[in-house]
């Protein structure tokens, strides 16, 4: 298996969580850990595990195919984008936040290193952390979960991604509505709905449980846009009545 070559820029609490989770993983190699603060806890942890450290990301970036900017600084993001090699990926703020939030929940949510490694590989495979990419990664997240609808929604919440609740099932139209709260993508104001990962997750979850090959998901209300809640409608790509839809989702 080809290993994902990861560069960590920012060695605070989130950087430390990443190192603790993935040091020694078969599918991931941490190329280096970078921080200008020589007292950053992630640097000390990296030294302990004999992972190279530096205050200059250019020492490692030419060999990286996944770069995590954990500093939260836009000028650092711009510099990483400028110096990254062709074919590598610098996660956007929302993508990085998702990964590191999952890492912070790792022990209590029983997220396995293999699961997290697969999720990181999904990010690498996508050309950018765009809305389409996040939708696709949300679908893949659902594919890895087993059980009924409650199991899927509980898993989503347990991984620190926010809360999704079933609101209504319309068997005649084949539509299912959900309400979302505290979703990780709605962290800043926007003129447009932002919860693309949740859309992909819900579309795949309903599709899988209802036995329908393809489902759409639209976000009708979004906290990032100023609404009080996020509301999603999942429906077939072509209008049809889905026999046993309620039974499939409520069992």
The upper half-sphere exposure of residue 37, i.e. CA atoms within 13 Å in the direction of its Cβ, equals: 11
Instruction: Please list the residue range(s) of the chain that carry CATH number 3.30.1380.20.
Output: 142-250
**pLDDT score at 61:** 95
Output phi, psi for 160, to 5 deg. Answer: 80, 20
Question: In this structure, which topology does domain 142-250 adopt according to CATH?
Answer: Muramoyl-pentapeptide Carboxypeptidase; domain 2 (3.30.1380)
90: nearest Cα among 104, 70, 106, 105: 70
pLDDT at residue 126, rounded to an integer: 53
Cα(98)–Cα(101) distance, rounded to whole angstroms?
A: 5
pLDDT bracket for residue 121 (50, 70, 90): low
pTM higher than 0.85: no
CATH 3.40.50.720 domain residues, the chain = 4-113
Q: How does residue 116 score in pLDDT terms, banded at 50, 70 and 90?
A: low
Per residue, what are the HEC states of the chain?
A: CCCEEEEEECCCHHHHHHHHHHCCCCCEEEEEEECCCCCCHHHHHHHHCCCCEECCHHHCHHHCCEEEECCCCHHHHHHHHHHCCCCCEECCHHHHHHHHHHHHCCCCCCCCHHHHHHHHHHHHHCCCCCHHHHHHHHHHHHHCCCCCHHHHHHHHHHCCCCEEEEEEEECCCCEEEEEEECCCCCCCCCCCCCCHHHHHHHHHHHHHHHCCCCEEEEEEECHHHCCCCEEEEEEECCCCCCCCHHHHHHC
CA–CA gap between residue 27 and residue 96 (Å, rounded): 19
pLDDT at 1: 47
Contact between 222 and 205 (Cβ < 8 Å): no
Torsion of CA 187, 193, 198, 203, to 10 degrees: 180
Comparing CA positions, the residue from 149, 144, 182 lying closest to residue 166 is: 149
**Residue 127 confidence (pLDDT):** 44
Output the CATH code of domain 4-113: 3.40.50.720
In the predicted model, is pLDDT for residue 215 greater than 50?
yes
Of 28-42, 66-80, 105-119, highest mean pLDDT: 28-42
Q: Is 75 left (phi over 0), alpha (psi -120 to 50) or beta?
A: alpha
How much is the mean pLDDT over the chain? Answer: 83
Report the DSSP pairing between strands 89-90 and 53-54.
unpaired
């Amino acid at each position: 298996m080809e290993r994902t070559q990861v560069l960590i820029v920012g060695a605070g609490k989130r950087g430390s969580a990443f190192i603790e989770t993935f040091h020694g993983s078969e599918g991931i190699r941490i190329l280096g850990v970078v921080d200008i603060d020589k007292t950053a806890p992630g640097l000390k942890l990296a030294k302990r595990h004999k992972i190279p450290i530096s205050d200059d990301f250019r020492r490692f970036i030419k060999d990286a195919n996944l770069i995590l900017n954990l500093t939260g600084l836009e000028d650092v993001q711009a510099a990483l984008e400028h110096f990254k090699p062709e074919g590598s990926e610098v996660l956007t703020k929302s993508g990085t936040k998702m990964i590191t939030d999952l890492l912070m929940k790792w022990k209590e949510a029983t997220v396995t290193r293999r699961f997290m490694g697969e999720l990181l590989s999904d990010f690498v495979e996508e050309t950018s952390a765009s809305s389409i990419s996040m939708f696709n990664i949300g679908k893949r997240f659902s594919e890895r979960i087993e059980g009924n609808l409650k199991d899927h929604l509980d898993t989503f919440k347990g991984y620190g991604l926010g809360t999704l609740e079933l609101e209504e099932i319309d068997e005649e139209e084949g539509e299912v509505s959900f309400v979302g709260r505290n979703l990780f993508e709605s962290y800043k104001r926007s003129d447009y709905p932002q919860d693309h990962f949740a859309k992909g997750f819900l579309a795949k979850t309903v599709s899988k449980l209802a036995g329908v090959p393809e489902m759409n998901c639209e976000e009708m209300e979004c906290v990032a846009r100023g609404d009080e809640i996020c509301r999603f409608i999942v429906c077939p790509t072509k209008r049809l009545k889905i026999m046993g839809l309620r039974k499939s989702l409520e069992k």
